[in-house]
Amino acid sequence: MKFEYRIIAGYVLVGCLWILFSDKLLNYFIRDPDMLTRIQTFKGWFYVLITAILFYAILKSHLVKIRNAEQKAIESDRLKTAFLQNISHEIRTPMNSIVGFSELLKDKKLSESEKDQYLEMISKSSDQLLNIVNEVLDISLIETGNLSVNLRRVQLNNLMKEIYLSYKPLINKEISFTMSTGLSDTLSLILTDVIKIRQIISNLLNNAVKFTDKGHIGFGYTLEENELNFFIEDTGIGIPSDSHDKIFERFLKVGSDNERLYEGVGLGLAICKGNIDLLNGKIWMDSKPGKGSKFLFTIPYKPVYEEEPVKGKNKDLVRTLNNLTILVAEDDDVNFLYIKEIFKGAGAEILHAINGREAVEMCEKNDRIGIVLIDIKMPVMNGYEAIKKIREFRPGLPIIAQTAFALSNEMLKAFNAGSNDYISKPFTREQLLSIVSKNMSS
């Protein structure tokens, strides 16, 4: 029953009971008719007073809730409008550059270096666009509760070194960049969701790089109690204290229109928080405008006390690919050609299956197939089913699933189906070659 009907029904019921029983009681105890009339009047006033107090209390609590909700709706509307304006700017800028430089590339008189420069601009802008799409996708997955945690063994120190090396070239030479680890390599073998940890640290480092022109950027972790405490600090522009408690809200960007415009749609920190919540951790920050910012987050420490099998990581890539038969299960011709082009000249034989069933049949008939690269979305039989079927008769065959974007659900399903690894689309030549060589040498 609706709230207002309940209130009215309650009011009428209590009123009726009050009139019935109080009258009976008064008639029983009081015999004098004058006295009875006076008490009846007081009784009426008493009822009015009590119901007024009750109504006030109930209405007040409801009005507070309604006003809070209204305030939130106004704020959320403001943030969404700001987001839409911002995202349209963020999409238009790289789009303009892609359209513009593609047009310029048509000019036959361009020198090789000019062409390279334009291609570099197009590639950078595509990355920027892809980043926005990924962020919007991530936040909607987080908000709809569709992201799950995929725990795997991770050598945390290696991951930190990898991140350090990938950021080193991006950082201005005048900024000192450091990384510190708080555990020995053996103890840093932990169980966690490596994709999420990498994404969180990268998002925080991206901000540090974006908002710091000079001084220092550092990141690392320590072990305290049973928690890994990560930090990412910088000596950049800092964040005013009135924004500290809202900073992890989605779409929030500090600063007004007349200040320097930094790229970003205000989703990075909300995604970090969503991911850290999923990992049962906490995130907070400390910052002073003009001095810098420090972001800290924790995750539970879950060590794995086993020796990791040593992998022959540095085998020569060409030797790995030479004479290797690679089955590419991919229904999209353009994607297949791209993959074929990547392996061209490496001495590998490339076979093509256009759907999952064909991939299974080819693996059954052809023993020379040494590795399978399989797309998840395919007609007739999808990638998951095909992987499961191939696993039944070729348990040791390395299978790499190709998933769309970095959706950890898709990855998890691919791992559950039996794939050894995954690569998310779009991927670069280096990423594909390194994943194939990793799986061939392990």
> From the list 252, 278, 362, 381, which residue makes contact with ligand ADP (rule: CB under 6 A)?
252
Cβ 284 to ligand ADP, closest distance in Å? 13
- Are 293 and 287 contacting, i.e. CB atoms less than 8 angstroms apart? yes
Per rule CB under 6 A, is residue 142 in the interface with ligand ADP? no
- What is the C-alpha to C-alpha distance for residues 307 and 311, in angstroms, rounded to an integer? 12
Nearer to ligand ADP, 205 or 363 (CB): 205
Nearer to ligand ADP, 26 or 137 (CB): 137
Cβ 290 to ligand ADP, closest distance in Å? 10
- Are 228 and 221 contacting, i.e. CB atoms less than 8 angstroms apart? yes
Q: Which three-class secondary structure state does DSSP give residue 89?
A: helix
Q: Which three-class secondary structure state does DSSP give residue 323?
A: coil
Q: How many residues bind ligand ADP (CB under 6 A)?
A: 21
Cβ 228 to ligand ADP, closest distance in Å? 21
What is the distance, to the nearest Å, from the Cα of residue 78 to the centroid of all Cα atoms in its chain? 23
Distances (CA, A) of 42 to 11, 18, 410: 19, 13, 72
> From the list 122, 147, 195, 237, which residue makes contact with ligand ADP (rule: CB under 6 A)?
237
Nearer to ligand ADP, 234 or 410 (CB): 234
Site string for ligand ADP, 203-222 (x = CB under 6 A): ----xx--x-----------
- What is the C-alpha to C-alpha distance for residues 45 and 405, in angstroms, rounded to an integer? 70
Q: Which stretch binds ligand ADP (CB under 6 A): 150-158, 249-257, 321-329, 360-368?
A: 249-257
Cβ 90 to ligand ADP, closest distance in Å? 9
- Are 284 and 401 contacting, i.e. CB atoms less than 8 angstroms apart? no
Burial class, 94, CB count within 10 angstroms (exposed 0-12 / middle 13-18 / buried 19+):
buried
> From the list 122, 239, 326, 435, which residue makes contact with ligand ADP (rule: CB under 6 A)?
239
Cβ 234 to ligand ADP, closest distance in Å? 5
Tokens 């490496």, located at residue: 346
What is the distance, to the nearest Å, from the Cα of residue 12 to the centroid of all Cα atoms in its chain? 53
Binding residues for ligand ADP restricted to 263-292, rule: CB under 6 A: 264-270
Record the tokens describing residue 408, joined without a space.
Answer: 């950890």
- What is the C-alpha to C-alpha distance for residues 87 and 81, in angstroms, rounded to an integer? 10
Cβ 250 to ligand ADP, closest distance in Å? 8
Cβ 154 to ligand ADP, closest distance in Å? 24
Nearer to ligand ADP, 134 or 434 (CB): 134
- What is the C-alpha to C-alpha distance for residues 405 and 69, in angstroms, rounded to an integer? 35
Binding site for ligand ADP (CB under 6 A): 207-208, 211, 234, 236-239, 247, 252-255, 264-270, 293
